[in-house]
Structures are given as C-alpha cells and as structure tokens.
C-alpha cells in the first residue's frame, strides 16, 4: 500500500498537470525561478501599451517558451533619468532579487545631460548591485537626440566602458531592434509598439539567458 507521502506527491503532480500551472514544473525539475527586476524608464515600463505587452511581461513569456523559469518585475518608470533610477533602488530592488536588467539613460540623452552625469548615477547603481551579489545586465540606448553624432558616440562609449569596468553583461542598445523602423514605433517616434517590444525580446534573449546562468551560479 502506497505511503501517505507517496500519495501526496502523486496528487501534487496530478494537480500540476491538470491545472496547467507552469510554475509547478521548475519545482519538480529542480530549477528554481530566477527573480529579475527590470530597472528602467518608459522604454521598459510599456508606455502606450497594455502592461501585458510591456518588455518585462513579454520577456518572461519568451523565457518560459524556452523552458527557462524566471519571474520578472517591471520597475520601469516613465520619465526616469539614471539618477532617478538610483534614488528609488531601495524601493525597486527587493532583497530577494537575483538579477537586474538596467535600462536607463534615454531621458538623460533627450535632456542633453553630460555623459559623465549619467555615468556617475549608473556607476552607483552597479556598485550597489555588486555589493548585494546580484547579477547584472546593463543596456545602452540609441535614442536620437538633436545634439550631434559626437554626443551620441560619447554616450555609447560611456555605456560600454562601464560594462567593461564592472565586468557585467552588456547589450549595446536596448532600442536597436526598433529605432530605425517606423512600423515598430508608436506615433511619437520614440517608443516601441507591441511588435517593437517583441523584436527587442527576440534580439536580447541570448544575453538574458546568459544573465540567468550568472544568477544561478551565484547561488551555488
């Protein structure tokens, strides 16, 4: 006669299968869900879109389709500069966070901030996360301000240099997948449509999977 413990396990497995709860699967596979926070501005917040079409939600679903277990929190705030993102880190990055995707700097560029101002805020964010042993993916942006090519190159170099100095994963331009395609942008010409978000997710998936690997390694 089966033991009560064996019966309980069988019932739990049946409930998982019958209900279709994908969140049950990692428990049986021994893979704990990686908790990711996307610290960003309107590009990740989902400006002009249903929250289910925002980057964090789309990314979580794409990872699950690839049998990757992740819980992704949307900590994007429209209008935020890098300094504003830094100021709310205590609120946005909870203690149980395993990894953070940083997408900040687009508003700094639109406002004409000096790259060193943005750099100082991002550097402080990176140092804080490193002290907490949180895996990091830093994203640059290719937002097109009207301050000339030299200004854009200075920002691009700032992002890449920070990533090298801190030895973190780097995605050179979050908006690369849609910035040059009007059909993937909203009428304002700055923010992605749902299809634009999907393009970003498709381009970033390999880098995000590398982030998951780093997060899991830090907990072994």
- 42 assigned to active site: yes
Q: Which two tokens stand for residue 5?
A: 């413990």
Determine the 3-state secondary structure of 29 from DSSP. Answer: helix
pTM of the model: 0.85
The answer to whether 178 and 192 are in contact (CB under 8 A) is yes
Told to judge if 191 belongs to the known catalytic residues of this protein, a careful annotator would answer yes
> Of the listed 42, 80, 92, 108, which one is catalytic?
42
Cα 154 to Cα 137: distance, rounded to the nearest angstrom: 20
User: Which helix (DSSP H) or strand (DSSP E) does residue 169 occupy?
Assistant: strand 169-171
19 part of the active site = no
What b/e readout covers 68-99, taking b as 16+ CB neighbours within 10 angstroms? bbbebbbbbbeebbbbebbeebeebbeeebbb
CATH of domain 31-217: 3.40.50.1110
**Of 3, 65, 96, 188, which is the active-site residue?**
188
Encode the chain (220 residues) as per-residue pLDDT tens digits.
Answer: 444 434 444 444 443 333 443 444 333 344 689 999 999 999 999 999 999 999 999 999 999 999 999 999 999 999 999 999 999 999 999 999 999 999 999 999 999 999 999 999 999 999 999 999 999 999 999 876 678 889 999 999 999 999 999 999 999 999 999 999 999 999 999 999 999 999 999 999 999 999 999 999 876 6
Give the pLDDT confidence score for residue 145 in this predicted structure: 65
Hey, what are 125's tokens?
């964010």
Domain limits of the chain?
1-30, 31-217
Beta strands in 24-141 (DSSP E): 34-40, 70-76, 99-103, 135-139
Find the catalytic residue in 80, 98, 175, 191: 191
- Separation between Cα atoms, residue 114 and residue 211, nearest integer Å: 29
């Amino acid at each position: 006669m089966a033991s009560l413990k064996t019966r309980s396990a069988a019932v739990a497995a049946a409930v998982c299968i019958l209900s279709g709860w994908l969140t049950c699967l990692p428990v049986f596979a021994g893979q704990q869900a990686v908790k990711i926070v996307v610290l960003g501005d309107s590009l990740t917040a989902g400006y002009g879109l249903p929250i289910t079409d925002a980057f964090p939600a789309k990314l979580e679903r794409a990872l699950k389709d690839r049998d990757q277990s992740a819980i992704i929190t949307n900590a994007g705030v429209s209008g935020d500069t890098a300094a504003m993102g830094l100021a709310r880190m205590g609120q946005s990055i909870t203690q149980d966070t395993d990894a953070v995707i940083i997408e900040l700097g687009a508003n700094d560029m639109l406002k004409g901030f000096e790259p060193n101002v943005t750099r100082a805020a991002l550097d402080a964010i990176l140092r804080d996360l490193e002290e907490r042993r949180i895996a990091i993916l830093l994203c640059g942006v290719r937002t097109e301000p009207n301050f000339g090519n030299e200004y854009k190159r200075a920002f691009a170099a700032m992002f890449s240099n920070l990533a090298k100095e801190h030895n973190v994963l780097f995605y050179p331009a979050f908006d690369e997948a849609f910035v040059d395609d009007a059909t993937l942008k909203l009428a304002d010409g700055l923010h992605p449509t749902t299809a634009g978000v999907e393009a970003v997710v498709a381009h970033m998936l390999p880098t995000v999977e590398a982030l998951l690997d780093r997060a899991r390694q830090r907990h072994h």
